[in-house]
Amino acid sequence: MSKQNTLSQEFLKGLWKENPNLVQLLGMCPMLAVTNEVVNAIGMAGAVTFVLLASALIISLIRSWIPAQVRIPTFIVIIAGFVTMADRYLAAFYPDLSKALGPFVPLIVVNCVILGRMEAFASKNKPGRSVIDALGMSVGFGIVLLIMGAVRELLGNGTILGAQILSPNWYDPMMVFILPAGAFLTLGLLIGVSNLVQKKLAGR
Amino acid sequence: MIGKQVRIVLILVIVCLVIGGSVSYFAAYTQPMIERNAREALKKAVNEVLPGVDSFEEIVPGDSFRVYKGKDAGGNTIGYAIYRVGVGFQDKIALIFGVDPDMTKIFALNILDQKETPGLGAKITDDKAFLGFWKEKSLTSPISYAKPPRPADALSDSQINAISGATISSDAVVKIVNAAVEEARGRIGGES
């Protein structure tokens, strides 16, 4: 690497240039599955943020000890530990949210965004830089989840966070958007729009 | 080279021990809260289907079928709350309903868990579209459903309205309730 990114570049790349969902296309399953309502999207984004930050910190702290041959098992054990804690925390303090997210909180263990950042970044960088990178990725992940959740809840149910936005008197909810098919439609359109913007920016 | 292999094993073991230890500590710390949440959810569910219940106890334990005996403040049995899991359209439906001590009528029905189609089958949780019809229905004959829906006063004593567009889900709930009543009569018929 000839020139190292500044810390703010390290943070901002997760939002746009290397956005985990729109550009890297990682972590698709939780994102497609739980974005039918904004509140679920917030819960998932929060859990992923916690796991990503905590794992990035711990793994970058012990990165020089971890033998290269067993780095993936070590990462997975650490990630799984934090995921279990996040799952128990939600079940203890937010039982309704925990029930709505169902198996998708435990499944954060295999969310490729997290393992991907550990392998590509936290295992090679200092703790501070790794946390900034993790924060950027989490915010990028969270924003996309929120947009997906808002679009799907609004079009599919006429509400946002449970509050009626589109009156049922004149708006007939497009049910498909809260069903799995709507997740694919929304994600496809979102990626299309972001590619379009990217092209426009590059062409200038 | 032996030294390197030992080091790999040692580091994996240490990481597992530290993570395992922290997780079990955290699990033990949250256990009472999770149990309390489950207890409160159950209490709320029983309160909603057995009006005026003061205390209740589990008299038939089980995974997919449970019966709770509810008493009022004076200690008189006011009825049973019956919990039953059955097959829905897409996944299992878990429901609870309250009956009087002789099991001749339903006080109210509540759906605890379901994964029916949002907007169609999921309306089985909707009071106006579905659950409201179940209040104070007679159990002297099995519950049946009317299709197409009728006005509430045109329904017979043991009849409810099916949800239009979600007959399978409505039918599933009716079957689960009827089966649960049968089972409850068989299991606790002699006790009261």
Q: Residue A179 has what pLDDT?
A: 85
Nearest chain A alpha carbon to B4 = A67
In chain B, beta strands by DSSP E: 55-60, 65-71, 77-87, 92-99, 105-113, 137-138, 144-146, 159-161
Strand partners, A141: none
pLDDT at A60: 95
- pLDDT for A131 equals 94
Which residue's structure tokens are 């019956």? Answer: B82
Per DSSP, B110 falls in state E
Q: How far apart are CA B168 and CA B153, in angstroms?
A: 24
Q: Say whether residue A158 is in contact with chain B using an 8 A CB cutoff.
A: no
Q: Which of A74, A20, A23 is nearest to A48 (CA)?
A: A20
- What integer pLDDT is reported at residue A111 of this predicted model? 87
- The C-alpha angle with vertex B133 and arms to B128 and B139, in degrees rounded to 5, equals 160
Q: Do A84 and B12 touch (CB under 8 A)?
A: no
Q: Which residues of A touch B23 (CB under 8 A)?
A: 81, 84-85
How many Å separate Cα B65 from the centre of its chain? Answer: 9
Distance CA A138, CA A7 (A): 15
Residue among A36, A81, A95 minimizing CB distance to B22: A81
Low-confidence ranges of chain A (pLDDT < 70): 1-3
Looking at residue A3, what is its pLDDT?
65
Of B160, B156, B82, the closest CA to residue B124 belongs to B160
Comparing CB atoms, the residue among B15, B34, B118 nearest residue A74 is B15
Could you read off the pLDDT of B114-123 as tens digits, one per residue? 888 777 888 8
Backbone φ/ψ region at A104: left (φ over 0), alpha (ψ -120 to 50), beta:
alpha
Q: Do B27 and A88 touch (CB under 8 A)?
A: yes
Q: Which of A129-143, A167-181, B21-35, B97-111 has the lowest mean pLDDT?
A: A167-181
Prior bond to B151 cis, omega within 30? no
Our CA angle for A118, A50, A27, nearest 5°, is: 55
By mean pLDDT, which of A14-18, A116-120, B23-27, B66-70 is the weakest? A14-18
Instruction: Identify the closest residue of chain B to A92 by CA–CA distance.
Output: B34
Q: What is the DSSP letter of B189?
A: T
In chain A, alpha helices (H): 7-12, 28-34, 38-61, 71-93, 95-101, 112-117, 127-157, 180-203
Name the residue facing A67 among B8, B22, B23 (closest C-beta): B8
Residues of A in contact with B41 (CB under 8 A): 95
Q: Which long-range contacts (CB under 8 A, 24 or more apart) does B183-187 make?
A: B183/B65, B183/B84, B184/B60, B184/B67, B184/B80, B184/B82, B184/B99, B184/B103, B185/B103, B187/B60, B187/B67
Closest approach of chain B CAs to the CA of A185, in angstroms?
Answer: 17
A181 close to B (CB below 8 A)? no
Residue of B6, B25, B34, B116 to mutate when probing chain A, most A C-beta within 10 A: B34
CB-count burial class (<10 Å; 0-12, 13-18, 19+) for B10? exposed
Q: Which residues pair with B68 in a beta bridge?
A: B58, B81
CB contact under 8 A, B22 and A91: no
Q: Is the pLDDT of residue B86 over 90?
A: yes
What CA–CA distances, in Å, run from A70 to A52, A120, A182, B12? 20, 15, 40, 8
Q: Looking at this predicted complex, what is its ipTM? A: 0.81
Which among A70, A80, A92 is the nearest to B12, CB-wise?
A: A70
Burial group, residue A44, by CB count within 10 angstroms (0-12, 13-18, 19+) = buried
- Quick check: A77 and B16 CB within 8 A? yes
pLDDT at B189 over 70: no
CA distance B16 to A74: 8
- The pLDDT, as a whole number, for residue B5 is 87
Inspect the interface and report whether the beta carbons of A78 and B15 lie closer than 8 Å. yes
Looking at residue B128, what is its pLDDT? 81
* A25: Cβ contacts below 8 Å, ≥ 6 apart: A191
- Answer for the pair B67, B81: CB distance below 8 angstroms, yes or no: yes
Based on C-alpha coordinates, what's the Rg of chain B? 23
CA distances from A146 to A62, A88, A154 (A): 33, 23, 12
Q: What is the pTM of this model?
A: 0.81
**A residues 65-94 closer than 8 Å to B (CB):** 65-67, 69-70, 73-74, 77-78, 80-81, 84-85, 88-89, 91-93
Is residue B97 pLDDT above 60, yes or no? yes
Of A67, A80, A175, the CB nearest to B11: A67
C-beta atoms of A77 and B15 within 8 A: yes
Give me the percent of chain A exceeding a pLDDT of 70: 99
How far does the CA of residue A3 sit from the closest CA of chain B (Å)? Answer: 33
The mean pLDDT of B100-125, rounded to a whole number, is 87
